[in-house]
């Protein structure tokens, strides 16, 4: 059961990174300024690289298919990404708030995993968390600037926070196998991650002149970790996998 628990963790992390990486890449050429075109493009490359590294662990250690196959040749129902990362990029305020909430969760997750008893993941976490720090710095900067900016920018940021909050809480959807991870000192669990995340993002939101949305447990968007996805994932996968599916023989990552 331990191996299945690790695989479940790796799949959801990799799928999150792959899908948010694709979403971030959609800002290329349409950002509000050239610097943001470059920033989101760079972060997209990082995310997809993280996904590839996690898929490689699944392949090399657990005998799963290679990274190309896992990324491009699985059906929608077999993805374990949260529904938060599937949502379209929307307006810039939405994407900044999503990056802020998601990347803080990822940074804390990788920081926790840097102490994991599963050596391959601990080694990767030590490398990846250094990269994600820059993603978090980018998001924090714009949350603070826009939260303390004009009336319009503050209103738009608060509206995006309110809209994304229950999607973001879906990141921490628990696995039925999680107790094995905790028992084996592989990962301290989603509840611990969520508590650390709440403490961190709350302090930044309040320092930015914004309000932390009230949480309604009945509105948290779960399901993605178990293969139940939004209407947006399949079209995204169809677009992302179009080249590979058109040339099954020679197309590569």
Confidence band, pLDDT 50/70/90 cuts, at residue 247: low
Closest CA to 138 of 53, 240, 33: 33
CB-CB contact of 127 with 181 (8 Å): no
Q: What is the CATH number of domain 2-246?
A: 1.20.1260.10
pTM recorded for the entire structure: 0.94
At 198-211, the pLDDT tens digits run 999 999 999 999 99
At 1-31, the pLDDT tens digits run 789 999 999 999 999 999 999 999 987 776 6
Closest CA to 212 of 145, 131, 147: 147
User: What pLDDT sits at residue 41?
Assistant: 85
Please, what sign has the CA dihedral across residues 243, 246, 250, 253? positive
Cα distance between residue 246 and residue 253, in whole Å = 14
Q: What residue spans define the domains of the chain?
A: 2-246
């Amino acid at each position: 059961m331990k191996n299945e628990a690790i695989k479940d963790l790796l799949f959801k992390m990799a799928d999150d990174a792959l899908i948010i990486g694709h979403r971030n890449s959609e800002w290329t050429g349409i950002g509000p300024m050239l610097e943001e075109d470059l920033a989101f493009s760079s972060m997209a490359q990082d995310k997809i690289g993280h996904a590839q590294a996690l898929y490689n662990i699944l392949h090399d250690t657990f005998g799963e298919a290679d990274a190309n196959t896992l990324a491009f040749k699985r059906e929608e129902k077999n993805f374990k990404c949260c529904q938060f990362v599937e949502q379209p990029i929307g307006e810039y305020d939405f994407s900044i708030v999503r990056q802020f909430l998601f990347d803080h969760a990822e940074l804390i997750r990788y920081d926790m995993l840097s102490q994991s008893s599963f050596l391959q993941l601990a080694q990767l976490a030590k490398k990846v968390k250094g990269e994600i720090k820059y993603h978090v710095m980018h998001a924090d900067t714009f949350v603070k600037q826009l939260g303390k900016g004009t009336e319009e920018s503050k209103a738009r940021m608060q509206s995006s926070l309110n809209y994304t909050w229950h999607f973001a809480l879906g990141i921490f959807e628990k696995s039925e196998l999680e107790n094995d991870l905790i028992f084996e000192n592989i990962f301290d669990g989603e509840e611990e991650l969520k508590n650390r995340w709440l403490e961190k993002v709350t302090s930044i939101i309040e320092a930015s002149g914004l309000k932390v949305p009230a949480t309604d447990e009945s509105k948290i968007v779960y399901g993605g970790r178990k293969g139940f996805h939004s209407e947006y994932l399949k079209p995204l996968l169809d677009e992302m996998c179009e080249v590979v599916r058109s040339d099954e023989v020679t197309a590569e990552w």
